Amino acid sequence: MKRRNFITAAAGVGAAALASPAIAQDVRKWRLVSAWPKNLPGPGVAAQTLADRITTLSGGRIEVELFAAGEIVPGPGVFDAVSEGTADIYHAVPAYWGSKSKGILLFGSQPLGLTAIEQHGWMLHGGGQELYDEMYARFNLKPFLTGNSGPQWAGWFRDEIKSLDDLKGLKYRTTGLNSEVMSKLGVAVEAMSGPAMFQALQSGALDAGEFIGPWTDSALGFYQVASNYYGPGVGEPSSAEECGINLESWNDLPDDLKQVVEAAAQSMYNPVLTEYNTKHALALRALVADHGVTLREWPEEITIAMGNAMGEVLTELRNSDDELVQRITESFLAYRKLMVEYMPWADNGQMNARNLDFNYGD
């Protein structure tokens, strides 16, 4: 073969090797199912950001398409859909999966528990992620935290709450471990989506409810049907958002793409948290100034009762028949104790100092 013909033939072989079918075979198409309405301020936006970030950081080697709640499965069904392989990844909150294991709830929010930064610290530096992985592996999932809403609110109440007695028999929407705590205080707890909570408050089927905080709550219009907004939300001092990945989809990834997905998930945490804090603050101003919302402080008597009730819940978890739930509980309590010792000198001290009476130029 002449040299020119050989080069031409070799070039043709090279081009064939790089043909689009071969490239296409290396692209993984993931379906992300979300527990939220599409583009709901806060978690709905974060779900889309996660899908886009994995796609971008992988250089298109993983194409993630988002399906909002109800498009493939209802919001409460996303855990099972990914566990069973109907979808590859979901975006939701651990607080929704108490029926799977009470131990899961500690990864989401804990009444009078960890702040958002402390929660992330437990996962990254206190052994939390290893326990999180072990628990979710039971359900054929690989989990990562992907953000946090920061301090939530006690919620929207049709009537003023002045004492612990006012909670007896109250029909109240909440979720996670806060459901356990409020039930112990005689509250009739209901679990439902944010849009369903609006309808229930409007019809009188609910007396009160909490969802997230001012930004997301404003978008859902709760101020239109209940004008008393109570804080602080000690039932959820933070609320982690998460993704869960089908283990077969996860194990199918080469090591570099596993690192990409992990980086995409973990890189979400601080931007999501700081966006919530900023937009909650702006939304709260508008709720008071433009919509006549009355801000009320959660009675201390109720906070103390909630703390005692949470102590009972934690004792039940420590005595669980499930050894893994016991270990998760002990790990959480140990990390919380560490933070309780440190934070009065750190964040608490800074907040107290900031509230002293001095001229700061504003």
Binding-site residues for Na(+), in ranges, read 211
Q: How many angstroms separate the CA atoms of 194 and 199, rounded?
A: 9
- Looking at residue 293, what DSSP letter applies? P
Q: CB neighbours (10 Å) of residue 36?
A: 26
Question: What type of residue is 324?
Answer: L
> Judging by beta carbons within 10 Å of its beta carbon (0-12, 13-18, 19+), is residue 117 exposed, middle or buried?
middle
* Pair 101, 326: CB distance under 8 Å: no
Q: CB neighbours (10 Å) of residue 151?
A: 20
* Pair 333, 314: CB distance under 8 Å: yes
* Pair 111, 119: CB distance under 8 Å: no
Strand, coil or helix: what is 212? coil
Q: Is the dihedral of CA 203, 206, 207, 208 positive or negative?
A: negative
Binding site per annotation, positions: 152, 173, 210-211, 236
Residue 145 Cα distances to 91, 124, 265, 269, angstroms: 10, 10, 7, 7
Strand, coil or helix: what is 210? coil
Region of residue 208 (left: phi > 0; alpha: psi -120 to 50; beta: else): beta
CA-wise closest residue to 144 among 53, 66, 241, 54:
241
CA-wise closest residue to 191 among 75, 284, 292, 82:
75
The alpha-carbon radius of gyration of the chain (Å, integer) is 24
Binding site per annotation, positions for substrate: 152, 173, 210, 236
